[in-house]
């Protein structure tokens, strides 16, 4: 019974709501930029192979390769194929920067 009274107490409710709203205000936002073209060019410099060879190895046309360079939201399957072909990790095909939210564990409010 004392827990129920404590929860109903205005001070306790205020603390719970404050933590909840603080957490909502600090949602994480990230800017993501696809870097497939940069990775392909880097791989070309390292190996000397052509874009046509890469497109053939991926099983796509050269035009589809160019479209992949422009895509802001490529399919996961496509990204995995690029990563295998270019001998890199999928996350290497992206560049991201955090624009808001929890920067480190000390920013996260208690549960």
Question: Is the model's pTM score more than 0.85?
Answer: no
In this structure, are residues 86 and 39 in contact, taking their beta carbons and an 8 Å threshold?
Answer: yes
User: Radius of gyration (Cα) for the chain, nearest Å?
Assistant: 24
**Residue in 13, 19, 30, 52 with CA at minimum distance from that of residue 101:** 30
Provide CATH code, domain 30-99.
1.10.260.40
3-class secondary-structure state, position 42: helix
- 64-111 pLDDT tens trace: 999 888 888 888 888 899 889 988 899 888 888 887 766 655 555 555
For residue 20 the two structure tokens come to 């909840």
3-class secondary-structure state, position 94: strand
Q: What is each CA distance from 50 to 21, 53, 54, 81, in whole angstroms?
A: 53, 5, 6, 17
- 48-69 pLDDT tens trace: 989 999 999 999 999 999 988 8
CA 52 to CA 57: how far, in whole Å? 9
Give, as one character, the DSSP assignment of residue 87. T
């Amino acid at each position: 019974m004392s827990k129920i009274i404590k929860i109903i107490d205005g001070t306790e409710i205020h603390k719970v709501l404050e933590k909840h709203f603080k957490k909502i205000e600090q949602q994480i936002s990230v800017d993501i930029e696809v870097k497939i073209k940069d990775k392909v060019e880097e791989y070309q410099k390292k190996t000397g192979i052509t874009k046509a060879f890469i497109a053939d190895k991926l099983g796509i046309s050269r035009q589809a390769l160019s479209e992949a360079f422009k895509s802001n939201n490529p399919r996961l399957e496509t990204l995995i194929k690029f990563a295998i072909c270019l001998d890199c990790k999928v996350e290497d095909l992206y560049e991201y920067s955090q624009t808001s939210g929890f920067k480190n564990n000390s920013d996260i409010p208690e549960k």
